Amino acid sequence: MNKVNAEDKPVVTSTLSEQTDYPACIDPWIYVGIGWNKFNACCRAPRLDFGVIKGFHVDTDFRAEVFNHKSYRYLRKMLADGKMPDVCVGCTKHSKNGADQKAIMESWKAKALKKIANAEHRLRVEENIAAAERSMLKKEIIVDHMPFQAAVTCGSQCNLQCKFCYNCHNDYYPEPEDILNIVDKLHETLFDVDITGGEALITKAGRSLLKRFAGGSYNFCVNLWTNAQWTDFDLLAPVNISAVKISADGATKETYEKIRIGGDFDELLTNIKKYKELKKENPFIELGLIYTITSDNYMEIPAACELFGQYATVKFGFVLRDDNDSQSITARPDLYEPLIAKINEALELTTAKLTKSNLVALRGVIKSKMQTATLATNHFPLKVAFKLFARKNYRFFKRLYKRIAKAFL
Ligand X SMILES: C[S@@+](CC[C@H](N)C(=O)[O-])C[C@H]1O[C@@H](n2cnc3c(N)ncnc32)[C@H](O)[C@@H]1O
**Which among ligand SF4, ligand X, none contacts residue 309 (Cβ within 5 to 8 A by kind)?**
none
d(CA 92, CA 100): 11
d(CA 213, CA 207): 10
**Residue 100 touches ligand SF4, criterion: CB under 6 A:** no
d(CA 183, CA 193): 9
Q: What dihedral do alpha carbons 246, 248, 251, 256 form, nearest 10°?
A: -140
Least distance CB 340 / ligand X (angstroms): 20
Q: Which of 92, 10, 54 is nearest to 177 (CA)?
A: 54
Q: For ligand SF4, which residue of 4, 22, 25, 239 counts as binding (CB under 6 A)? A: 25
Amino acid code (one letter) for 330: T
Terminal Cα-to-Cα distance of the chain (whole angstroms): 87
**Residue 330 touches ligand X, criterion: CB under 6 A:** no
d(CA 240, CA 212): 11
Least distance CB 4 / ligand SF4 (angstroms): 28
Give kind and range of the element (H or E) at residue 304. Answer: helix 301-309
Q: For ligand X, which residue of 196, 313, 355, 358 counts as binding (CB under 6 A)? A: 196
**Which among ligand SF4, ligand X, none contacts residue 320 (Cβ within 5 to 8 A by kind)?**
ligand X
DSSP three-state, residue 272: helix
**Which among ligand SF4, ligand X, none contacts residue 290 (Cβ within 5 to 8 A by kind)?**
ligand X
What is the DSSP code (8-state) at residue 55?
Answer: T
Least distance CB 15 / ligand SF4 (angstroms): 27
**Residue 5 touches ligand SF4, criterion: CB under 6 A:** no
Q: How many residues does the chain have?
A: 409
Q: For ligand SF4, which residue of 176, 198, 206, 250 counts as binding (CB under 6 A)? A: 198
Residue among 112 and 222 whose Cβ is closer to ligand X: 222
d(CA 232, CA 66): 34
Sequence-separated (6 or more) residues with CB below 8 Å from residue 132: 26, 29, 30, 143, 145, 148
**How much is the CA Rg of the chain, to the nearest whole Å?**
24
Among 95-103, 138-146, 160-168, 204-212, which window interacts with ligand X (CB under 6 A)?
160-168
Q: Is residue 148 a contact partner of residue 129, using CB atoms and an 8 Å limit?
A: yes
Residue among 27 and 194 whose Cβ is closer to ligand SF4: 27
**Which among ligand SF4, ligand X, none contacts residue 122 (Cβ within 5 to 8 A by kind)?**
none
**Residue 32 touches ligand SF4, criterion: CB under 6 A:** no
For the window 286-325, what string marks contact with ligand X as x by the rule CB under 6 A?
Answer: ----x-x------------------------x-xxxx---
Question: Angle at Cα 88 formed by Cα 87 and Cα 91, nearest 5°?
Answer: 130
Q: For ligand SF4, which residue of 125, 146, 165, 359 counts as binding (CB under 6 A)? A: 165
Residue among 4 and 129 whose Cβ is closer to ligand SF4: 129
Least distance CB 399 / ligand SF4 (angstroms): 48
Q: Is residue 154 a contact partner of residue 174, using CB atoms and an 8 Å limit?
A: yes
Least distance CB 331 / ligand X (angstroms): 12
Residue among 122 and 315 whose Cβ is closer to ligand SF4: 315
**Which among ligand SF4, ligand X, none contacts residue 304 (Cβ within 5 to 8 A by kind)?**
none
Q: For ligand X, which residue of 100, 192, 199, 300 counts as binding (CB under 6 A)? A: 199
**Residue 164 touches ligand X, criterion: CB under 6 A:** yes
Least distance CB 141 / ligand X (angstroms): 29
For the window 210-229, what string marks contact with ligand X as x by the rule CB under 6 A?
Answer: ---------------xxx--
Residue 359: CB atoms within 10 Å? 22
Residue among 112 and 312 whose Cβ is closer to ligand X: 312
Q: For ligand SF4, which residue of 30, 143, 158, 285 counts as binding (CB under 6 A)? A: 158
d(CA 355, CA 311): 13
- CA distance to 66, 268, 312, per residue, from 274 (Å): 39, 10, 12
Sequence-separated (6 or more) residues with CB below 8 Å from residue 358: 92, 315, 316
Q: Which residues bind ligand X (CB under 6 A)?
A: 158, 164-167, 196-197, 199, 225-227, 247, 290, 292, 317, 319-322
